[in-house]
Structure 1
């Protein structure tokens, strides 16, 4: 009874986080990781998991949940015909390669380093979204290779280090090259698929045999959290996709930016305090 009373608040926190993550996955094409990582970090901490593995566990578990969420979100957006499938085909090697590189880095980095990486990237992207101007363009169409391949690899690296589906980075890339935010969001759900599958495998490998991990974990993936949140995020993702298509470009960008600032500041506080 005492154990149930202790564990119930954490389960409720995970459920609430899963609902928000699923909604954001569909709305922004981000896979929900940007909200799941800080939630997991704190919940795992409250459960007494050592700090030196907590951030890696949060990143790996987030990417595992993004697998079905991003697939579901991608299918919802593809039905609306707004996904750039040519870009996704060109990144079939680049994005997974970058993600696997990230899992190797994460296995060797400290918890503080990973939190700072997450916070700095999120804050930079937030200001770009909030203060975005139509004049902020690098071109009228996406660049060709090798630049496009390098960008895809970079998105994989940064996303793997943040435990996110890559939407936040792909949205920035595509809109800087003249694509609409709605097409960027739709395509980002596909990028999430290319990141989450190799990311899951990489974090399993990177955490294999590491001491201090909680029960029901394989490497840096906690399957109890995965099984609890997957149904919730899957249910909420199509709702988010419908909301995205009902909002204006400016509303999407401002909402996305404010959300990222809150998450970034929260992670800076965990490092300082």
Structure 2
């Protein structure tokens, strides 16, 4: 990689890490559109660009989630019981998601990303108050919810926060706890999804040099170094913001990224 590309990826990684800590989204919702731009500019094979952007994004979440969750855990914000109930379904779903994605063309994958993100942003922006009696479901329901979160996360290359944060707040989990718990869920999502993207990507022909399956390793390493540094800062900032402001930031960010991926899918 040339120096200019390294500089771009370092800046991108720093922003993604901060967002991961701030919003509990693993950074993937930011990273996929920008990685799509970077890989397009580098003239990677068109049929692989979105797949590689998603896979590389998912792999970086293994690093950002660890850094982010440590900061949230120090504040006692992570609901580890919830993590334990959701994680088994997430592991299954995160393996299946990339398998589904491998059978979709880049345009369809980009459109799917846009739809999922826009829906999540709308749910967060509406900020409809949940029924006071609503609680998180029991173990079978949590396994099912984890499976859905894992499939969607593995499919679009995100840490799951775009689904898990609205789901938890809908069940009367406080937004700060939902963000912190979502950050902890990012690691099992990323681990299973990364292994799946390597496995299914190894069967693809024409991937560029430096790829491991669908993952572009040079970008992964540079982004991971920067994002791990800034994720704790984002986590600290999250605990100083009021609930409504945090939800509004989350929604506006997601709408912006959905718009770009919609444009990419319709081209």
Kept in 2, the 8 Å contact 1:49–1:212? The answer is no
**CA-to-partner distance for each residue in 1:6-44, whole Å, 9 max, x for gaps?**
x44433332222111000000011110111111111111
Secondary structure of the corresponding residue to residue 139 of structure 2: coil
- 2:43 is the counterpart of 1:64: no
TM-score if structure 2 supplies the norm length?
0.96
Secondary structure of the corresponding residue to residue 92 of structure 1: helix
**CA-to-partner distance for each residue in 1:227-248, whole Å, 9 max, x for gaps?**
1111100001000001100100
Unpaired stretches in structure 1, ≥5 consecutive residues: none
Structure-2 separation of matches of 1:15 and 1:82: 29
Structure-2 separation of matches of 1:110 and 1:77: 37
- 2:140 is the counterpart of 1:146: yes
- 2:250 is the counterpart of 1:243: no
The partner residue of 1:158 within 152, 157, 161 is 152
The partner residue of 2:119 within 120, 124, 128 is 124
- 2:175 is the counterpart of 1:181: yes
The partner residue of 1:225 within 201, 219, 223 is 219
Partner residue in 1 for 2:128: 133
The partner residue of 1:260 within 230, 254, 262 is 254
Kept in 1, the 8 Å contact 2:106–2:265? The answer is no
**CA-to-partner distance for each residue in 1:47-86, whole Å, 9 max, x for gaps?**
1111211111111111111101101111111111111111
Partner residue in 2 for 1:194: 188
Shift of 1:138: 8.2
Structure-1 separation of matches of 2:232 and 2:107: 34
Partner residue in 2 for 1:203: 197
Measured on the aligned residues, the alpha-carbon RMSD in Å equals 1.4
Partner residue in 1 for 2:46: 51
**Distance change >3 Å, CA 92–CA 130, structure 1 → 2:** closer
The partner residue of 1:103 within 93, 98, 104 is 98
Kept in 2, the 8 Å contact 1:139–1:176? The answer is no
How many residue pairs match? The answer is 267
- 2:168 is the counterpart of 1:171: no
The partner residue of 1:77 within 72, 77, 97 is 72
Secondary structure of the corresponding residue to residue 91 of structure 1: helix
Unpaired stretches in structure 2, ≥5 consecutive residues: none
- 2:213 is the counterpart of 1:216: no
**Distance change >3 Å, CA 9–CA 139, structure 1 → 2:** farther
Q: List, as ranges, runs of 4+ consecutive aligned residues in structure 1 with deviation greater than 4 Å.
A: none
Secondary structure of the corresponding residue to residue 87 of structure 2: coil
Kept in 2, the 8 Å contact 1:165–1:196? The answer is yes
**Distance change >3 Å, CA 208–CA 180, structure 1 → 2:** same
Structure-1 separation of matches of 2:246 and 2:152: 22
